[in-house]
Structure 1
Amino acid sequence: MHSLLKRQIRKYLPEDIESHPAMVPFLDAIEKSYENYDDKFSMLHRASTISSDELFEANKKLRKEADQQKKILVSLENTIRSLTENLSEEQLFGENVKDDFNAEDLAAYISNLATKVSEMTTEKDKLLKSLESQNQSLNNYAQMVSHDLKSPIRNINALMNWIMDDEKEKFSATSKDNCSLVSQNLTKMDKLITGILNHATMGETEEHRVTFSLEESLKDIEQTIYVPENISFEYADNLPQMVFERARLEQLFMNLFTNAVTATENVEKGVISVGYEPDDAYWKFSVSDNGKGIPEKHQKGIFEMFKKLETANNATGIGLAIVKKIAVLYEGDVRLESEENVGTTFYITLKKNS
């Protein structure tokens, strides 16, 4: 035993006990209790230190998670406020959105919002199915009407031409003119039905994009339509090679060309020009003519179905409506600038990757 410790113990013992033989095992027991004290104290201190470090790290992690939870709550609160504002409601699900939120409120909000979104999605799906069914019915009806009407119209027109050929010597000049008017109106009706069908089914048929020269395509259209001798076409030098649905693009330009020819057929020297403006996102074109122009009062509704400026020609009032629908189909637009007795320019944009 350490001498100082033994001395302190003996100091408080009576003299008769101090020299008692039983003191020896007693002092040995005390000595054994102090064996490895320093090591045990060191281990205890180390254990305490480790526990403190673990507690510090745990508290640090808890603070971090608490901060994340706060951010999530703030984000959810802002989301609900935004949704509520977009819905133009002062209160949502019976709670005032201006009040402070807590976790239970947010949980209730999210649950109710999820239910409402689910109901809206179900309703939307029903509406889409109904709309799809109605569109299909309308398209079927348009095709049926087109077939049922065009067949007798063409038969009547053919019969009128046969009568004119067989009986033209017996007809008076007035009768001949009337028969000619009947034939013209039958032809106009046939074009009208075709135009309605094209407009109704626009976008229903899938087309594959192909690579082609726009200038070659436009010159093919020029050869297809009727162009009086007093009218010439001019094409910009930078017309592009295109990757696009060719048939729809040709349909768009054919209607614009036909419209421009009608506007310039009475001009001494009519000129129809096609321009192109390079752009990364859109195909941008212009079709200009130096014809009679469009009065300002008619410019706003010129792209509506059956809107036309004159009734004495074979115009159906559908051509520009088809142009507009094609532009919208490709996430673009069409607009015009026109001045009476000066000419008209149509500006067309079509998204390249729509």
Structure 2
Amino acid sequence: MAAAAGPRTPREDAEARRREVLGEYALLSAPADPEVAAVLRLARAATGAAGAAVVLLAAGRRHVLARAGGDGPVSAAAPLVSPEGHVLGALCVHGAPPETPHDAALQDLARVLVGLFERRRQARRHHHLAAAAEEARTTLELAHAELAARSAALATAVAELERSNGELEHFAAVASHDLRAPLTVVDGYVELVAEVYGERLDQRARDWLATARGGAARMAALIDALLGYAAAGAEEVACTPVDVGGVLELVRLDLLADLEAAGASLEAGPLPVLAGDAVQLRQLLQNLVANAVKFRRPDRPPRVRCWAEPGDGGWTIAVADDGRGIPQEHRAAVFGMFERAGGPGAAAGHGIGLATCQRVVHRHGGRIWAEETPGGGATIRFTLPGSALPVVVSLDAAAQPSVATQGPAAP
């Protein structure tokens, strides 16, 4: 194994740097410029010498860059010193008369030569910079062209996606509407058979009819859910000032039968007035409250709470329950179409309600997510942009026993 090289001496450092400067000047790898020959002729004329030469020192050896006239013993010389102070070589004259003064002239011409070398170095640097700039420009043009192509492709894909979504929404609305009519007819005839011929049928037949009517009811609920999902994205959001507390009261009235059947309490904290689509926000809160009642624990009546918290640029509204909750690994997936919340043993659902909620929130420029309620249950939070003062929901607790009004509802 070769021994590791020790540190270089100052002389070795100076020699290495001098070679670097010579390389930057390209004096050892390319012929001299025509101006160098002109300087040599001036040197001969100024000193009366028979010949002149530019001699460079590289790696301990002499390298003649250019020569004019004959060769012979050096009569006089002037060092060639770079701006950094490195001695590159010398301007030498041969056969100069000893009585002719030449030191000052040679020194001036040596400085002229170094100036020519420096010009050559700057030209090389400019050439490299220009080449790098051209390469960068070409790369940038290619990047711009690629970006434009990708932007065009993305715009095409977005347009196609919007068209496809529009067609799907239209299909869902039309299909759901067209399915409702024949389903109503089927359910009506099954009900009619049960009423007219019920006494002539045995228990098995009556059970079959009940099963058929139950299936028709579930299909009608699914059609309603599909229509709600399609409606949530079918029209532009009509933003008007919306009293969220008033919307929650309408939701309570819509779900009054379900709330009373489950023995549920619906508690409201301070809720704001903000800009939004009143119809869609009502659909949003109704789905969340209905889910809270549906996915309750079997051993106790559900408690549902709704409140709002101001934040940067808007409000965060929460609907919390003490029901079965949503497993952590499912909290993102439950907002997809046909994904069901609640886990094993939970009440049956269509898996469309939370997807509809997410669509409504996104169309209002917000986001929605699920958390665990402290002590058990699920809390659905969503953000809505805008600023407003909170308005405390005012409900008559005596007249509306299923809804309690209180201060800010704790999570």
Q: Same fold (TM over 0.5)?
A: yes
Is structure 2 residue 363 aligned with structure 1 residue 346?
A: no
Partner of 1:233: 266
SS of the residue corresponding to residue 277 of structure 1 reads strand
Partner of 1:256: 288
Q: Which amino acid aligns with 1:222?
A: R
CA shift in 2, pair 1:222/1:122, >3 Å: same
> Partners of 1:331 and 1:324 in 2: how far apart?
9
Q: Quick check: 2:251–2:286 contact (8 Å CA) kept in 1?
A: yes
Q: Quick check: 1:233–1:272 contact (8 Å CA) kept in 2?
A: yes
Matches within 5 A, 1:174-189: 174-189=204-219
Pick the aligned partner of 1:321 from 355, 362, 382: 355
Which has the larger share of helix? 1
Which has the larger share of strand? 2
CA shift in 2, pair 1:215/1:343, >3 Å: same
The alpha carbon displacement at 1:249 in A equals 1.2
Q: Quick check: 1:283–1:349 contact (8 Å CA) kept in 2?
A: yes
SS of the residue corresponding to residue 166 of structure 1 reads helix
CA shift in 2, pair 1:310/1:199, >3 Å: farther
TM-score (norm 2): 0.54
> Partners of 1:176 and 1:275 in 2: how far apart?
47
CA shift in 2, pair 1:149/1:286, >3 Å: same
CA shift in 2, pair 1:159/1:201, >3 Å: same
Matches within 5 A, 1:1-354: 102-200=132-230, 202-225=232-255, 226-229=258-261, 230-236=263-269, 238-264=270-296, 266-296=298-328, 298-299=330-331, 301-308=333-340, 309=343, 315-329=349-363, 330-338=365-373, 342-352=376-386
CA shift in 2, pair 1:325/1:272, >3 Å: same
Give a deviation string over 1:177-221, Cα, whole Å, max 9, x none: 332222122121122133234334533311211113211110111
> Partners of 1:221 and 1:189 in 2: how far apart?
23
> Partners of 1:101 and 1:184 in 2: how far apart?
79
CA shift in 2, pair 1:304/1:144, >3 Å: same
Q: Which amino acid aligns with 1:113?
A: A
SS of the residue corresponding to residue 169 of structure 1 reads helix
Q: Quick check: 2:295–2:347 contact (8 Å CA) kept in 1?
A: no
Segments of 5+ residues of structure 2 without an aligned counterpart are 1-128, 388-411
> Partners of 2:312 and 2:135 in 1: how far apart?
48
Q: Quick check: 1:210–1:243 contact (8 Å CA) kept in 2?
A: yes
Q: For this pair of structures, how many residues does the alignment match?
A: 253
Q: Quick check: 2:266–2:305 contact (8 Å CA) kept in 1?
A: yes
CA RMSD of aligned residues (A): 2.9
The alpha carbon displacement at 1:102 in A equals 4.0
CA shift in 2, pair 1:338/1:182, >3 Å: farther
Q: Which amino acid aligns with 1:114?
A: H
Identical residues among aligned pairs (%): 23
> Partners of 1:211 and 1:129 in 2: how far apart?
32
Q: Quick check: 1:188–1:314 contact (8 Å CA) kept in 2?
A: no
Q: Quick check: 1:260–1:291 contact (8 Å CA) kept in 2?
A: yes
Q: Which amino acid aligns with 1:349?
A: T
> Partners of 1:265 and 1:335 in 2: how far apart?
18
Q: Quick check: 2:292–2:302 contact (8 Å CA) kept in 1?
A: no
Give a deviation string over 1:125-168, Cα, whole Å, max 9, x none: 33233323322332332233223322211211122222222222
Give a deviation string over 1:268-319, Cα, whole Å, max 9, x none: 4432111211124232111122233345565453333223346885621211
